Amino acid sequence: MQERHKIGLFSLVMLALSSIIGSGWLFGSGEAAMVAGPAAIIAWIIGAIVIMAIAFNYVELGAMFPESGGMSRYAQYSHGPLLGFIAAWANWVSLVTIIPIEAVAAVQYMSSWPWAWANWTRQFVAHGDVTTFGLLIVFLFMLVFTLLNFWSIRLLTRFTSLIAVFKMVVPALTIILLMASGFHPANFGHNWQTFAPQGSAAIFQATTASGIIFSYNAFQTVINMGSEIRDSRHNVARGIAISLLISAVIYTLLQVTFIGSVPPHLLAQSGWHGLNFASPFADLAILLGLQWWSILLYLDAFVSPFGTGVTFVAVTSRTLWAMAKNQHMPQWLGRLNRRYGIPRLAMAANLVISLLMVSVFRNWSVLASVISTSTLIAYLTGPVTVISLRKLRPNFKRPVASKWLRVVAPVAFVLASLATYWAMWPTTIQVILVILLGLPFYVYYEWRRGFPNFKQQLKGSLWLIIYLVFLSAVSYLGSQPFGGNGWLHYPWDFVLISVTAYLFYCWGVASRIDSDELVAAAEVNRQVKVDDDE
């Protein structure tokens, strides 16, 4: 792709923010407050730390391998096709689910419009699930998401830059207006028991179960755009750091605003656990007499998910395209449109899969659970891969190579493991089963090739397969706040996972494979420019 057609830093940050600030800000603060009370503020900070630690690993990988859909290929470079497929499939499951969840979010908010002329929108949702009529609107949204990506990356960046500005301005003004109209410091409590009424375990539960990890997850938009980024050696790191910092500040301040703006009489009646706002910030605006602002909030409840959905059509198509490039999916999915360099067939396939998925899972919270857990499972390979590649190919060009990575990588692996556990039983085992559904594709294409080096591939992936079984078992036997049977008590379940996670991390690094996959990695890395090359 010509340099003048590539994405610059500003457009890259806007693209990332347009992805990150989606339906999470509309639902997350209310959901987290119900679970953890005022201590939900801590949950947003923990979520940001978890994602930033994970992203730290992918900054080096993204700068080393500036290729579209890169997150679907890194594990294959260091541990062979089997681990690469598991990581890519898990990541694709999470990404393809984001397309319908954003459409569902927009439709659910439309269904709660308070105006008499909009009564017809209330038919979109019944008992928390999208109705058949609502599905038609969801389908229409997803079709528009896809069409906006179908012709040009330039059209995508212009659209998302405009949307991203709007999506940052509205939350910022919401914070200012709600705080100025009615802020109650007493809502935050006067001691630990009133600040964290459900206990400390609820803070961690909220981090994954309330959509916080899901809200931050979209940093990988930057990684997956790969070769389409101008000056990728610098802008990959800058784009991720800037977008995550901005979104972390916005999300944390939104949580503070939500907690301080809830009328005290509502808390006296039902407590934090009993709050039930259909449209959290819009409902608060109406309660505080800001009906005019609630109109803009309802509009943003349409625009924010819309912008994220458009962005993730681009990201998901490149992920599926990369899986086809790895020769574990039909090769026609890997074809690029000659004029625009866009994987149109992969986009169309993702649209069909998204339509099928939302026809089965019609609830925002169910879709959010699938996204969070499958993403975290994919992220388990990142820290292992980046350290393994340092050992396998220390001579590769590394525009970004931090000396702290040897410390951050195992910490990130442990945090990703804990966050997977926080998703609660039975979500863990359900998502693992969804990931296993992809293995027939792998087996079929390996069978066609005669299962080359299968023992070596198994060596490179066995550590993750066994680790997923272990996490499922701990989730089932874990403490009751996280859906377990209570055989392991909190916080000893955290201790067990942390210690075992480090051991599996070491096993994963030791399972690295020096294979032909590194030849392809070298070809991509050869395109990288570092300061010494200039």
Taking 70 as the threshold, does the pLDDT of residue 233 lie above it?
A: no
Query: Across residues 357-383, what is the average pLDDT?
Result: 82
Tokens of 119: 């009564």
What pLDDT does residue 2 have?
A: 46
What pLDDT does residue 224 have?
A: 60
**pLDDT, greater one: 111 or 467:** 467
Give the model confidence (pLDDT) of 284-331 as tens digits: 888 888 888 888 888 777 776 776 677 667 777 777 777 777 677 777
List, as one string, the DSSP characters of 242-286. HHHHHHHHHHHHHHHHHHHHS-HHHHHHHTGGG---SSHHHHHHH
Instruction: Give the rounded percent of residues in the chain with a pLDDT score beyond 70.
Output: 88
Give the model confidence (pLDDT) of 68-85 as tens digits: 666 768 898 999 888 988
Calculate the alpha carbon distances from 384 to 5, 95, 390, 534 in Å.
34, 21, 10, 31
What is the rounded distance in angstroms from the CA atom of residue 462 to the CA atom of residue 229? 35
The three-state (H, E, C) secondary structure of 375-426, written as one string: HHHHHCHHHHHHHHHHHHCCCCCCCCCCCCHHHHHHHHHHHHHHHHHHCCCC
Which residues have CB under 8 Å from 467's CB, separation 6+? Answer: 380, 504
**pLDDT, greater one: 141 or 533:** 141
**pLDDT, greater one: 151 or 451:** 451
Taking 80 as the threshold, does the pLDDT of residue 412 lie above it?
A: yes
Tokens of 216: 């931050």
Taking 70 as the threshold, does the pLDDT of residue 9 lie above it?
A: yes
Token pair 């951050």 is found at 408
Query: Across residues 434-442, what is the average pLDDT?
Result: 81
What pLDDT does residue 1 have?
A: 43
Res. 159 pLDDT band, cuts 50 70 90: low
What is the rounded distance in angstroms from the CA atom of residue 75 to the CA atom of residue 326? 11
Res. 340 pLDDT band, cuts 50 70 90: low
Res. 510 pLDDT band, cuts 50 70 90: very high
What is the rounded distance in angstroms from the CA atom of residue 84 to the CA atom of residue 396? 20
φ, ψ for residue 147 (rounded to 5)?
A: -65, -35
Query: Across residues 18-39, what is the average pLDDT?
Result: 84
Most confident of 124-133, 226-235, 390-399: 390-399
What is the rounded distance in angstroms from the CA atom of residue 529 to the CA atom of residue 399? 8
Tokens of 412: 């990130």
Bond from prior residue into 394 cis (ω within 30 degrees of 0): no
What is the rounded distance in angstroms from the CA atom of residue 476 to the CA atom of residue 488? 9
What pLDDT does residue 156 have?
A: 53
**pLDDT, greater one: 279 or 378:** 378
Taking 90 as the threshold, does the pLDDT of residue 380 lie above it?
A: yes
Token pair 């959509």 is found at 211
Taking 90 as the threshold, does the pLDDT of residue 40 lie above it?
A: yes
Q: Identify the structural domains of the chain with CATH numbers, from first to last.
A: 9-527 (1.20.1740.10)
Q: Which bin fits 117, alpha (ψ -120 to 50), beta or left (φ > 0)?
A: alpha
List, as one string, the DSSP characters of 40-66. HHHHHHHHHHHHHHHHHHHHHHHHH--
Tokens of 282: 């819009």
Is-contact 456 515, C-beta < 8 A?
yes
What pLDDT does residue 410 have?
A: 97
What is the rounded distance in angstroms from the CA atom of residue 172 to the CA atom of residue 168? 6
Res. 494 pLDDT band, cuts 50 70 90: very high
Is-contact 416 390, C-beta < 8 A?
no
What pLDDT does residue 227 have?
A: 55
Tokens of 449: 């090739």
Res. 204 pLDDT band, cuts 50 70 90: very high
Is-contact 472 429, C-beta < 8 A?
yes
Query: Across residues 250-257, what is the average pLDDT?
Result: 93
What pLDDT does residue 515 have?
A: 86
Query: Across residues 400-427, what is the average pLDDT?
Result: 90
Is-contact 216 20, C-beta < 8 A?
yes
Nearest to 100 by CA among 348, 315, 367, 347: 367
